[in-house]
Structure formats: C-alpha cells, structure tokens
Structure 1
C-alpha cells in the first residue's frame, strides 16, 4: 500500500481567489478540480486546496493531509492492526474511494485510492 503522493491540505474561503497565488508559488496549473459535497477542491503541486464556507469546512479542518495510496483495503488493515480509528468511510468520491482515519498519537489523515482517470492526472 505505498503512498504515491501526499497533499498538504490548505483550507480557503474561495478557490478562484486562492488559486492564482498557488499557480505562482508552484509554477503549475491545478491537476484536479472538482466539487465534493458543499466544497470545491483543487490539487496543485503538493497542495490540496479545500474551499467552502466556515460551516462547510468545519468537519474537515481536523484532517492534516491527504495521502494517495494504491490500496485503500491495505490502509484499513493497517489502521486496524495499529489500533487506529476509521472516522469516515470508505466512501465513493469524485476521484475514487477514500477514508479518514485517526492514528495512534492523534494524526488525522485522509487516504484516497484514485480511479484510473484521477491517476492519469498525477505527474
């Protein structure tokens, strides 16, 4: 279950306002952009921008990072074996399947297993 990419989460009020700064910082254009529930998300460089109202963002703010993995099932087994807790998921999401877990020690991470179309956006 190798981690193939890690995105630092950046919570923003408005995606269109925030993106130009990250385009300049990274020298890249967003590789992914999609709506999810009441949020808008964009992956750019090593960042996942998560945009929404304070109320929409509130349930997600405790999540520290998003890790793209080759097998969500292996993540589930690892979380269980190490005494972690699955907080949400597995779910079907626009990019594949995800889950959010709290690890021993308190880190809260989202794991995503990309479907083929999302994998094709990775450089």
Structure 2
C-alpha cells in the first residue's frame, strides 16, 4: 500500500512575512521554496515550516489548523477520513499550489491536506 503523505509542514502564524523569513532561513539553512498569496495571506515554505502572514482578522480562520500535509491524493485522504470518522471542515478546493482539504480527525487534530500540482510538487525535492 502506498503511503499517502509526502511532506508535513509545521504552521507558523506571523504578522509580517518579510520580517519572519530571515530567522527561518537561518534556522533551516534553506531559502523559501514556495511563496504565494491566498485569501489575504502571504505564505512561504522554508524547510519544514509553512509561514502564514496576515492580520489577526485574516489569520483567525486558520489558527485552529495544526499542520499542512502534502499528499499523493486528496481522494485517498477523503477515503481515510470517511473510514475513521473524521469531519471535512473545508474542501476539496482549488488553491494556488493544487487542491486542498481540511479535516478534523477523531481526537481533535485539524490538518490541511494538499495535493500539489506538478510545479509545486517539484519544490519538495
């Protein structure tokens, strides 16, 4: 059986992406691999971090999500969620990096899953 998880990013909520990036570049020894905007937020991946920057109001709907996980297939995650009694909170939706889905799993973990399109997936290498 194929493991559906390709990568997991710890979410870090910041008020200013440009101010936050130098610290995370030094911590990881890596430059940002992805940078994009979505729903009023500025986002960047650096190492195993996903930095989300915006106003308190813009960040509020996302603060309850614990991690972002890149997966082979959103459809596979839907099947796992159904099998284990999870709750779909949002999606599946088209997003700048591909297709996403936010799930609250039994036990309370809330995870965003993203099936990257080919250009975004190439940043994982």
**TM-score bracket for the superposition, by shorter chain length:** over 0.9
Once superposed, what is the RMSD of the aligned Cα atoms?
0.7
1: distance between equivalents of 2:77 and 2:5?
A: 10
TM-score, length-normalised on structure 1? 0.98
1:105 and 2:112 are equivalent in the alignment: no
> For each residue in 1:58-79, what CA deviation from the matched residue of structure 2 results, as whole angstroms up to 9, or x when unmatched?
0000000000000000101110
- Secondary structure (helix, strand or coil) at the match of 1:81 reads helix
2: distance between equivalents of 1:27 and 1:86?
A: 35
- Aligned twin of 1:13: 15
- Residue 87 of structure 2, aligned match among 78, 82, 85: 85
- Aligned twin of 2:72: 70
* Structure 2: runs of 5+ lacking an equivalent: none
1: distance between equivalents of 2:7 and 2:124?
A: 9
1:38 and 2:40 are equivalent in the alignment: yes
State how many pairs are aligned.
Answer: 123
TM-score, length-normalised on structure 2? 0.97
Moved over 6 A (4+): none
* Structure 1: runs of 5+ lacking an equivalent: none
